[in-house]
Chains A and B, each alone.
Chain A
């Protein structure tokens, strides 16, 4: 029977996911149209995960403005932000309070624009992200779709070297760097939306800026309709990609995962096809390295039982990869129902919490979840690997690479070493197996 109480939540909220996607836009100030606490909680998580200063605002709804309507707060917030921080774009996410009231935020934004000519140079994007529906990934997808819906118009002509990349929330800044470099290697110019590799990669700027620094520019987004193809990375990005296709006729290819040999082969093949260029030697060499890592590593993955809790696209990517290496997915827990889950190689996928993970993980050889899972793994005495958001108790979350030949290779080593360490005779096996 389904529990009425969620115990040790896996899920983060939609508005948080939406705002994080907006952090992948350049000179952006993300904002929650909500009470100030919503931003404060989300901000703390983002700061702890990325170990960065995070620009993030709030319309600071109060009990009174909730009753009277939030339009005035929205107007004041936008005017204040533009005056103080001069962003190129403000990404606005609603929450449950605003959506349950049925506020016409789009209408409010029109009125606000009409009353304030000084906002002419600032793009305003509004994503509907009530926190009583979906989770982080859904909010991320909603923000990307809203960005395309509200900024992209059809343009004449095609740029045959330009490709759109819609990046799902399961990708880290390091993943996006890898994807960017790979596309570059084929002589293509990607427009990556959102591009957190520019803004949340951990860099030290020379001056203080109150907005994001780096990420997709508004000008780039407006050019997306001219691209020769859209690569949707993660099933979550498909609706946004389809919108772009319908509006501007840019054909879509969906890559539900990029971790593993064959999935990345598909990606490389698509780039070769789109660019009409041969696969560069350096990439072939890395493919060979991955094959070698699979050969070396498979001993330690075979028949290992793994418990995973992650958002749908991350869950799909990791569980398929582990299955590809011979491991069994004993328990899979996720946050919301999506079509991608059909691919998860597990008898059941529970929409649930870390308590469900704890129940199902007994006897497993490895547990994978975000940082809150660490205590669960500790209680069960199972080796633990952090994946997903938030990762607040280890360094380098932004630079965790798990896509591509190199990323998969390194992931094999990292997880394989956990299996070796967890295996009582692992050390000996590790030596003999290599002879």
Chain B
């Protein structure tokens, strides 16, 4: 069954990366080149599936496997909730050696039962892991039995770590939503301005920088998939008029299949930076109007954009002179490869280079166009080289994820988090203000001059 799902995902026709491959390479699977033992980094498919599904805040997320999978990773993602907190509780079957020998299905069923009895969540997502996949626990069967006997959706997430990288796990999670969640309930009312955001996980509250804009425009967010989501909102997402795919390719399969099944048009956009935020709002408005929303939405959107852009410019005016001409090195991936460049250039900064890991050809084209001759695209940038560039002063700041944080700090170079684990929301107009103020705060800290001063006896 898994092999079937996998093959089918590799055939994703909307995926630009996939389309660009010859038929043989396409069969090899998605997520780029195969992993190199001894020189690999990054999360597994299980990690990716968790990133997509865990933000459903009122559901229980149960990991069926040995302690490593949940014990080493629980409550470490910064998707925020405005209400239920159950999603932050770490549930695992914590398999023992005996379970591995005799099979863990019974323990899994009991675990599900205990969760239902104690927490009564609207749904339980059950994650398979490498070891339970290898010993052949039939998670789908256990979940089906539990659903029937306990009268509650118990949803198998078949994305064990060893089937692929994080990116691939996000797609598998998308399939889970399509197979078990989206379209299983009907909303009480629908409006001509109902939209979904796909691939927006409300990291550090990103979503909450955008929802007030929608509210002011009279646009109803039917479901964010899955930031700050409630299970019963996601089930009704199929009645939206427009889907915006926020995080590049991660949930492209969901966008395309929702179009196929329910005729929902979609577009790919970003809320990073002023230009992209405005563009996304315009696109949403136009697509809604095309599907029957009042034409006045277009005008109202333009008015809002004008007001917000003026506000951002005013708020940032005091720090823009300090940012002007400063050089940034971007080590990110996917859609952020280019959307962050635009945000930095808007503030007058120069981007000396960006990594284009996990980026589609289209992402790369956009990044290259923005950089022009002044910056480089890296497929990957080994830490040693990154360190050398920073040590040599080629960039004033590194924007990256936590894993490369210390490459910058050990080179005594300012760093700012631009990834999943960050603690500040950077989406929308308010996010752009926070993003650029964050860069300014990092650059202007007085420690840099001090820590770069050699000891008096060494000078």
Among A51, A204, A208, chain B packs the most CB atoms within 10 A around the CB of: A208
**Cross-interface CB contact of A40 among B44, B71, B95, B387, cutoff 8 Å:** B44
Q: List which B180-218 residues lie within 8 A (CB) of chain A.
A: none
B403 pairs with A47, CB closer than 8 A: yes
B44 pairs with A37, CB closer than 8 A: yes
**Contacts A51-B406, A58-B37, A61-B162; A7 near B384 (Cβ below 8 A):** no
A35 pairs with B406, CB closer than 8 A: no
| Interface majority SS (helix, strand, loop, mixed), chain B | helix
Cβ of A5 within 8 Å of any chain B Cβ, yes or no, is yes
Cβ of A76 within 8 Å of any chain B Cβ, yes or no, is yes
**Cross-interface CB contact of B66 among A62, A130, A375, cutoff 8 Å:** A130
B68 pairs with A5, CB closer than 8 A: no
Contact residues in A for B275 (Cβ distance below 8 Å): none
Cβ of B93 within 8 Å of any chain A Cβ, yes or no, is yes
User: A75: nearest residue on chain B (CB-CB)?
Assistant: B37
C-alpha spacing A403/B94, complex, angstroms: 32
**Contacts A5-B115, A6-B93, A372-B75; A80 near B37 (Cβ below 8 A):** yes
The distance from the CB of A312 to the nearest CB of chain B, in whole angstroms, is 15
**Contacts A100-B135, A133-B96; A38 near B39 (Cβ below 8 A):** no
B92 pairs with A9, CB closer than 8 A: yes
**Cross-interface CB contact of B67 among A8, A11, A60, cutoff 8 Å:** A11
Cβ of B107 within 8 Å of any chain A Cβ, yes or no, is yes
**Cross-interface CB contact of A100 among B43, B100, B383, cutoff 8 Å:** B100
Cβ of B349 within 8 Å of any chain A Cβ, yes or no, is no
B115 pairs with A12, CB closer than 8 A: no
User: B6: nearest residue on chain A (CB-CB)?
Assistant: A63
C-alpha spacing A73/B93, complex, angstroms: 29
Contact residues in A for B410 (Cβ distance below 8 Å): 53, 204-205, 208
- How many chain B residues sit at the interface, stated as a range, is 35 or more
B45 pairs with A81, CB closer than 8 A: no
The distance from the CB of B96 to the nearest CB of chain A, in whole angstroms, is 6
**Contacts A53-B407, A132-B95, A372-B75; A96 near B68 (Cβ below 8 A):** yes
**Contacts A40-B43, A96-B100; A13 near B92 (Cβ below 8 A):** no
> Per-position contact with B for A327-339: 1 when CB-CB < 8 Å, else 0?
0000000000000
User: B169: nearest residue on chain A (CB-CB)?
Assistant: A37
Q: List which A2-29 residues lie within 8 A (CB) of chain B.
A: 3-9, 11-16
Cβ of A84 within 8 Å of any chain B Cβ, yes or no, is yes
B68 pairs with A13, CB closer than 8 A: yes
Contact residues in A for B91 (Cβ distance below 8 Å): 5-7
C-alpha spacing A375/B75, complex, angstroms: 10
**Contacts A7-B89, A8-B74; A73 near B402 (Cβ below 8 A):** no
Cβ of B47 within 8 Å of any chain A Cβ, yes or no, is yes
B68 pairs with A38, CB closer than 8 A: yes
B131 pairs with A12, CB closer than 8 A: no
Q: List which A352-401 residues lie within 8 A (CB) of chain B.
A: 372, 375, 392
A132 pairs with B131, CB closer than 8 A: yes
B37 pairs with A59, CB closer than 8 A: yes
**Cross-interface CB contact of A62 among B35, B41, B71, B407, cutoff 8 Å:** B35
Contact residues in B for A423 (Cβ distance below 8 Å): none
B37 pairs with A37, CB closer than 8 A: no
Contact residues in B for A100 (Cβ distance below 8 Å): 100, 131, 134-135
C-alpha spacing A210/B39, complex, angstroms: 11
C-alpha spacing A281/B107, complex, angstroms: 59
**Cross-interface CB contact of A41 among B38, B62, B73, B163, cutoff 8 Å:** B73
Contact residues in A for B451 (Cβ distance below 8 Å): 204
The distance from the CB of A31 to the nearest CB of chain B, in whole angstroms, is 7
B163 pairs with A37, CB closer than 8 A: no
C-alpha spacing A34/B286, complex, angstroms: 49
Contact residues in A for B88 (Cβ distance below 8 Å): 375
C-alpha spacing A372/B47, complex, angstroms: 19
C-alpha spacing A31/B41, complex, angstroms: 12
A–B Cβ pairs within 8 angstroms, 8 of them: A7-B89, A13-B67, A35-B161, A37-B44, A39-B41, A60-B37, A80-B38, A96-B100
- Give B contacts to A, CB under 8 Å: 34-47, 62, 65-76, 88-97, 99-100, 107-108, 110-115, 130-131, 133-135, 160-166, 383-384, 387-388, 391, 402-403, 405-407, 410, 412, 421, 451
Other A-B contacts than A53-B383, A204-B412, 18 sampled, CB-CB below 8 A, are A3-B111, A7-B91, A11-B71, A35-B161, A36-B161, A36-B165, A38-B68, A47-B405, A57-B39, A61-B162, A66-B130, A73-B37, A77-B39, A100-B135, A132-B95, A135-B67, A210-B383, A375-B75
- Give A contacts to B, CB under 8 Å: 3-9, 11-16, 31, 34-45, 47-48, 51-53, 57-63, 66, 73-74, 76-81, 84, 95-97, 100-101, 130-133, 135, 204-205, 208, 210, 372, 375, 392
